[in-house]
Amino acid sequence: MNPKWTQKEMAKVAAEERAALGVDLMDPRDPALLAKTWGIPVYAISELTAHDCPSETIEHFRTTSSKKWSAALIPVGSGRIIIENDSHPTVRRRSSVAHEMSHHLLEHVFPEGVLSSDHDQLYSKAVEKQALFTSGELLAPEAACKKLAFRDAGNAAVAARFEISTQMAQMHMKGP
């Protein structure tokens, strides 16, 4: 792992991943397809009943703690899986999977657990910021946002184009 990733380096990783899938700068990116190309299955939390996860646990994360948990990249032997909260809107789910894939692409070291007892994340704030930045570059690259800004595109247009939330579009359009 490179503990001191620069934004330029993270943007390069994201651009390389987009290019590897043949995704143009201005086109939306399917983070689940990225996961598939890396051999990382993505499971909705509601699917876990088929794998003996108690339904009470699933409902807890889909309802009671829905806002506290979106997704997790989990080591399984020498592989990885992503479990995502399918109670969230599609745009948030796309963002969550891109975020977890960013942890993988940046080779972040796994914490001891996925969630602490009070459901806080266990990755450091620096690592989370890296994953947030990289996921943004995977979904709506800054270079694309700049082009759209010069075309007077608003947050809603950027969100629709890249299949992201208007909040995420606003965050990425802030600089451009």
Q: Give the Cα separation of 38 and 46 in Å (integer).
A: 23
User: pLDDT digit string (tens) for 65-78?
Assistant: 667 778 889 888 88
Tokens for 111, please give them.
């914490």
DSSP assignment letter at 175: -
Pick from 6, 7, 10, 29: nearest CA to 103: 10
Q: Give the Cα separation of 45 and 61 in Å (integer).
A: 8
Q: Give the Cα separation of 64 and 68 in Å (integer).
A: 9
Identify the pLDDT of residue 119.
44
User: pLDDT digit string (tens) for 81-116?
Assistant: 999 998 899 999 999 999 999 999 999 887 665 554
Distances (CA, A) of 126 to 7, 21, 131: 12, 28, 9
* 161 sits in which H/E element: helix 155-162
* 107 sits in which H/E element: none
Task: State percent of the chain over pLDDT 70.
Answer: 88
pTM for the whole structure: 0.88
